[in-house]
Amino acid sequence: MARKRKRSLLEQVINSPAEKEQSTCPKLTKYWLQRYDLFSRYDEGIQMDEEGWYSVTPEKIAVKQAERCRGKVVIDCFSGVGGNTIQFAKVCSSVIAIDIDPVKVEMAINNAMVYGVDDRVDYVVGDFIHLAPSLKGDVLFLSPPWGGPMYNKVESYTLDMLQPKDGYKLFQIAQTITPNIIMFLPRNVDLAQLEELAWLSSPPLTLVIEENCVGGRIKGITAYFSCSAV
Ligand code: MGP
Ligand code: SAH
């Protein structure tokens, strides 16, 4: 009896959407091995798709980014499966989470429920570029697609490689909403280009660059732009 119960628990885990996604796609294994770094509550029903696996911001990094936005109205412009959104929801006064992919938004809502913060987020399925003129917030968080997991095959990642628009255009759009802009970017990003973005703005913006590590390995770079301290 006990044996049977154990097997059905295992079946439950293997049949969960996130496990199915991982088991049908061997290239996702390295991300699955990091699952508890991505979501500490992974086992409680977190849902992922392929892009979600390789794009979600690891929890420890998302906590740190959210701490800089404590008490503010934050717009998570490329919210994915919700790694950042969940942490913003814990400490910000309100959060708008936007993603163009309705499946990601469904997963993000589910994942926020796992963390008990779903009622603290306004979810929007839509294109950030089109929605921008109607958005209002204190801080804009941009973690756009980097062009897939091959982003690190170039020595220096330049801002024109960001999607769905190049980094200059994304930054220009963001500035029409607020000067307080946070970008989560590849670890091989050209830092001189980020400095250029700050000092070419009118008035010039303050820029703080943070290297984000998990388990001693650099996962990405966070650039905090602001008019005054965010
Ligand atoms: P990685 O380099 O693919 O993984 O992504 P890892 O485990 O560092 O690989 P290694 O073999 O080099 O050690 C590192 C982190 O970057 C991921 O956990 C995501 O948080 C982030 N990331 C990766 N991609 C491809 C994207 C992306 O397209 N968009 C966003 N916003 N984040 C990404
Ligand atoms: N920070 C997220 C990961 C974001 S990955 C997390 O921690 O989970 C980038 C996301 O941008 C993807 O989910 C993709 O669907 C979304 N995206 C791509 N183009 C978009 C657009 N034009 N507007 C809004 N979202 C977009």
Residue 5 has pLDDT above 80, yes or no: no
pLDDT band at 143 (very low <50, low <70, confident <90, very high): very high
Which residue's CA is the nearest one to ligand 2's atom 25? 99
Closest CA to 108 of 134, 80, 140: 80
pLDDT band at 26 (very low <50, low <70, confident <90, very high): confident
Q: Is the CB of 219 within 6 Å of ligand 1?
A: yes
Which residue's CA is the nearest one to ligand 1's atom 11? 30
Residue 164 has pLDDT above 70, yes or no: yes
Q: What is the mean pLDDT of residues 76-104?
A: 98
pLDDT band at 27 (very low <50, low <70, confident <90, very high): confident
Residue 2 has pLDDT above 70, yes or no: no
Q: Is 82 exposed, middle or buried (0-12, 13-18, 19+ CB in 10 A)?
A: buried
**Cα distances (angstroms) measured from residue 27 to each of 4, 23, 58, 67, 104:** 32, 10, 18, 32, 20
Q: Is the CB of 55 within 6 Å of ligand 1?
A: yes
SS3 220: strand
CA 211 to ligand 1 center in whole angstroms = 13
- 128 residue type, one letter: F
Chain segment 49-62, per-residue pLDDT in tens: 999 999 999 999 99
Q: Is the CB of 58 within 6 Å of ligand 1?
A: yes
SS in 3 state form for 203-215? CCCEEEEEEEEEC
Rounded CA gap, 188 and 36, in Å? 25
pLDDT band at 25 (very low <50, low <70, confident <90, very high): confident
- 213 bridge partner residues: 218
